[in-house]
């Protein structure tokens, strides 16, 4: 990144259900750390959420709940811009422009579409297919330079860089869009499902027992961890011995991350123990990190007027930046602006 490019952080979370441990450890925790160092813009990605069928009443509630979740996790709406995506029309406008820059071949490589569309691809909505172009628009509308995301979004970030580069080349606009860099948690880039260590923890997974929600109370967390899938072997001594034990690896990763330790140290401490014993330690660690956040979310959710006010103020700030950048983009494209 050239020295005179101003650092801007952008990221978003879909209001497609309750925030969970994966969203927190993989993304939102990083959002909070970054706001101490850089200008940050965080959106509740409601336009992305409708790529999967949503009940309008439920969606409205989820947008406010996600806003409460952001703040409860430590985002400061005075310092960072927090808003919902659909209230800034520039996201949809730039996404259309990028639909005309991006290539079908690029879209066809996106693994998230393949996973989410499943076997019935022909019946998937077009929005789900071009989701990565909207994500590129979200980021580049603010000329963001850094994007904190979980490991699952890495491929979409690479596509964003391709789109930025192609736009700059096609329109002779050297360095107009920065090539944004992903900021991925090194120690824990992907939290896996508690039911299947090969699948990521996800809001839309049917079983509640597959994830820890940030609003889960202590009892629920303990119950979910107790039921979490493991295997019959005890905790090994060496990391190499976790190789074909994805569920064991996942629980040890989570424990090490939330206790600010490393997997090596955890193995030293826990080697030879049964998973049932280890799970008690894991539950205690999770309860101490998650329950205070859940309590705060519930408090914030009770004042919807306040949450709407926060989003309105954020949307106004985001719109000002978006409008200025879109003006430049339209000039580059040759549109007449009245
Ligand atoms: N399991 C995960 N581990 C690490 N990071 C994760 N993220 C999501 N799941 C994990 C990160 O959280 C941010 C917000 O994600 P999102 O809600 O916008 O979309 P998603 O990645 O599709 O998350 P879900 O929970 O799986 O939602 P649904 O089920 O609605 O699709 C992103 O930075 C993501 O990497």
Per-residue pLDDT of the chain (338 residues; tens, 9 = 90+): 555 568 999 999 999 989 999 999 999 999 999 999 999 999 999 999 999 999 999 999 999 999 999 999 999 999 999 999 999 999 999 999 999 999 999 999 999 999 899 888 899 999 999 999 999 999 999 999 999 998 889 999 999 999 999 999 999 999 999 999 999 988 888 999 999 999 999 988 889 999 999 999 999 999 999 999 998 899 999 999 998 999 999 999 999 999 999 999 999 999 999 999 999 999 999 999 999 999 999 999 999 999 999 999 999 999 999 999 999 999 999 999 98
Is 203 among the catalytic positions? yes
- CA–CA gap between residue 301 and residue 115 (Å, rounded): 32
H or E, element range at 91:
helix 90-99
Please give the distance, rounded to the nearest whole angstrom, from the Cα atom of residue 330 to the centre of ligand 1: 32
Pairing of strands 146-148, 81-84: unpaired
Residue 150 gets which letter from DSSP? -
Task: Give the domains, in start order, of the chain with CATH numbers.
Answer: 8-190+304-333 (3.40.50.620), 208-299 (1.10.240.10)
- CA–CA gap between residue 312 and residue 307 (Å, rounded): 9
- CA–CA gap between residue 319 and residue 92 (Å, rounded): 13
Compute the CA torsion angle 181, 44, 105, 125 (nearest 10 deg): 170
Pick from 21, 12, 64: nearest CA to 201: 21
- Count of alpha carbons within 13 angstroms of residue 142, beta-carbon side: 28
pTM score: 0.94
Q: Closest ligand 1 atom to the C-alpha of 48?
A: 18
If phi > 0 it is left, if psi is from -120 to 50 it is alpha, else beta; for residue 172 that is left
Q: Closest ligand 1 atom to the C-alpha of 112?
A: 22
Please give the distance, rounded to the nearest whole angstrom, from the Cα atom of residue 153 to the centre of ligand 1: 8
Buried b (16+ CB within 10 A) or exposed e, 48-84: bbbbeebeeeeeeebbbbbbbbbbbbebebeebbbbb
The residue whose C-alpha atom lies closest to atom 34 belonging to ligand 1 is 150
Is 200 among the catalytic positions? yes
Tokens read off for 207 = 């079983």
The residues, ordered by sequence, that sit 6+ positions from 284 with a Cβ below 8 Å of its Cβ are none
Tokens read off for 196 = 């299947």
């Amino acid at each position: 990144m050239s020295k005179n490019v101003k650092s801007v952080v952008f990221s978003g979370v879909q209001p497609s259900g309750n925030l969970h441990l994966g969203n927190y450890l993989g993304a939102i925790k990083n959002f909070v750390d970054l706001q101490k160092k850089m200008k940050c813009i965080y959106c509740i990605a409601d336009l992305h959420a409708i790529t999967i069928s949503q009940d309008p009443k439920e969606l409205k509630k989820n947008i406010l709940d996600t806003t409460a979740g952001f703040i409860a996790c430590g985002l400061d709406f005075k310092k960072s811009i927090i808003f919902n995506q659909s209230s800034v029309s520039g996201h949809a406008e730039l996404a259309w422009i990028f639909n005309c820059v991006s290539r079908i071949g690029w879209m066809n490589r996106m693994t998230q579409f393949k996973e989410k569309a499943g076997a019935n691809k022909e019946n998937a909505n077009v929005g789900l297919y071009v989701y990565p172009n909207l994500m590129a628009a979200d980021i580049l509308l603010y000329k963001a330079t850094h994007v904190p995301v979980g490991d699952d979004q890495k491929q979409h970030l690479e596509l964003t860089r391709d789109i930025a580069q192609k736009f700059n080349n096609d329109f002779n606009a050297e360095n107009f869009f920065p090539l944004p860099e992903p900021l991925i948690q090194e120690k824990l880039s992907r939290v896996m499902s508690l039911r299947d260590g090969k699948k990521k923890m996800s809001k839309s997974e049917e079983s509640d027992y597959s994830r820890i929600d940030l609003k889960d109370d202590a009892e629920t967390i303990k119950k979910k961890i107790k039921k979490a899938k493991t295997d019959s072997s005890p905790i090994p001594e060496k990391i190499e011995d976790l190789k074909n034990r994805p569920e064991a690896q996942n629980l040890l990763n989570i424990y090490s991350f939330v206790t600010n330790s490393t997997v090596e140290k955890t193995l030293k401490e826990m080697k030879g123990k049964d998973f049932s014993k280890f799970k008690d330690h894991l539950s205690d660690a999770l309860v101490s990190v998650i329950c205070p956040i859940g309590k705060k979310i519930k408090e914030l959710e009770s004042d919807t007027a306040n949450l709407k006010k926060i989003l309105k103020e954020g949307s106004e700030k985001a719109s000002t930046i978006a409008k200025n950048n879109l003006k430049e983009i339209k000039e580059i494209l040759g549109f007449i602006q009245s």
